[in-house]
Chains A and B, each alone.
Chain A
């Protein structure tokens, strides 16, 4: 068995031996092996950092600054007596593309004169609530949810009043941060 191996080896690798003196060959091999392992692991680790950051970009990147939509000039609403309907453009980023959509909101004035913006999405099933001038109420056309001019629930199946959106005044313009809220629940929960 042994001799057979030997002859085969000899045929294949004539004169094959360790290149230099056998003394210390073992130690040198181990040292080079360790050096190579460390080098490979080190470089591999260094290269995997950008790869991981690249792949995890959507989860690690700071969420884009809150998108504020323009509602109109502040002065425009200084004299409103009843809720005013406005269409706003909301821009949503989806990776490398953006989706621009139009949403309707109502601008109202609170008792202390502060401008408030209400979402027109009914908190019941998401129909668009319409302002009824003659009744002076918001009425959802789907299941007759009725809301007061300040958005408070008066009657109907909805479990809460109309949702108020976050606003700010910037350079004399009213801006709103449009959000969607969970329907069919009593508390206001942001879903998107």
Chain B
């Protein structure tokens, strides 16, 4: 009855010296870490009816999620979540950093892969009736994970801070304001204010990187625990509560199938990421009024659905109907309590599920068709595509740091201050006080001096330095009144 390769015995009974034919290192570790029972627990899970390709989607999801975690952590090496820098840093990753375009594409396409595999996982669970027989909590935990994954896709979309990210999120957060009573407050909560800005980006970043992933880890653990507690449901002919069919252990055949599917997913993602790198559009410009936001493909059905609802009825379409569908979906194992698993014997449930699925596909297709048929929209979308392609072709343009000369020169738009700068340099003030008044070991920093001394005081100490200043080597500045005015204007501009 025991597995031939992984004996579930307690290796504490066997002295290390007697562990013949067995890896002594393994025994050493097992006594301290208990890996033998852990492996037994993980690999010897019984699958009624035997291994099948239909069961690979759950572990496939786990693999893509891990890939998202790894690529996400690496992307954070260069990403800065601020409206000022987010777009530049993503452009830097995409255009300059070695393998940056590839990793960003893996992460970006990974979200689509998760949605696809998630749908397959749900469809398999639904059609096989695998939610039946004391699996309500397992199903609900899965529903929570579904919502969290949708949340990851929504929050991650804004982070590159390009045109489509900005405007799609503006639309997305606007939908929240349709919720009665608390809608406006909800929108402000998400945006961190009335409008989209750098606080919105910070919030989305924290949700995307800390909060939602933490919840996902917790619910994945719960989902797997509840799955192992309930046991694998097996094929549709199996009794979901007390399985009768001959079981096969998880290892090796099911593990091989799961790994095969994971490798297939990773290979597909890798090929896509390598040959069709994810694009980045021009930086978000909130003043742009023409931009037509279009969400990722998996949000298209919802996007289309929202178009049909406006005015006082909007609350029905945007809130009531989706809520009813969500409640029915989450409550499925509580409502559909029969143990019958064969799809053809469950026409209502399977019919409703198929109907919703087809409706989503239809809405998505309609959305695409609407965009194609409206010449104005089609032209604008084509223009946006061109702008994105043009941005992708352009070389990376580093951001000019705030402490830079260019920024300093903006303050010198005032011609009087500009003249003062020339005086500052020709009189060799910069010899001791440094270029731009940054200060040196020989002379004090002059940046911000205008805030400390009003112009008349400043002029007085320049003409007649204090004793302390004179001791430091400051000489009195002899200038004509207008030149002194210019110098003071320049000193005031040093901030």
Contact = CB atoms under 8 A, between A and B. Distances in A.
10 contacts: A12-B46, A14-B247, A15-B246, A26-B4, A29-B252, A35-B256, A36-B252, A54-B74, A101-B404, A128-B435
A79 interface: no
A25 B249 CA distance: 12
A81 interface: no
Interface in A1-60: 6, 9-10, 12-19, 25-26, 28-30, 32-33, 35-36, 39-40, 43, 47, 50-51, 53-57, 60
Interface in A117-159: 125-130, 140-143
Nearest to B246: A15
B100 A54 contact: yes
Contact of B1 (A6, A97, A98, A103): A6
A102 B405 contact: yes
Given A43-B266, A142-B442, A57 B100 contact: yes
A142 B1 CA distance: 90
Nearest to A120: B431
Given A15-B244, A51-B103, 19 more contacts: A14-B247, A17-B246, A19-B246, A28-B252, A29-B5, A51-B74, A54-B77, A54-B97, A57-B99, A96-B85, A96-B88, A96-B96, A98-B398, A98-B400, A99-B403, A126-B441, A127-B431, A141-B442, A142-B441
A172 interface: no
Interface string B77-103: 110000001001101100011111011
Contacts of B5: 26, 29-30
A192 interface: no
Nearest to B242: A14
B134 to A, nearest CB: 15
B100 A15 contact: no
- Majority secondary structure, B binding face: mixed
A101 B263 CA distance: 51
Contacts of A10: 1
Interface string B434-460: 111000111100000000000000000
B215 interface: no
Interface residues of A, number: 58
Contacts, number: 163
B432 interface: yes
B259 interface: yes
Contact of A141 (B78, B270, B473): B473
A93 B404 contact: no
Contact of A15 (B4, B245, B425): B245
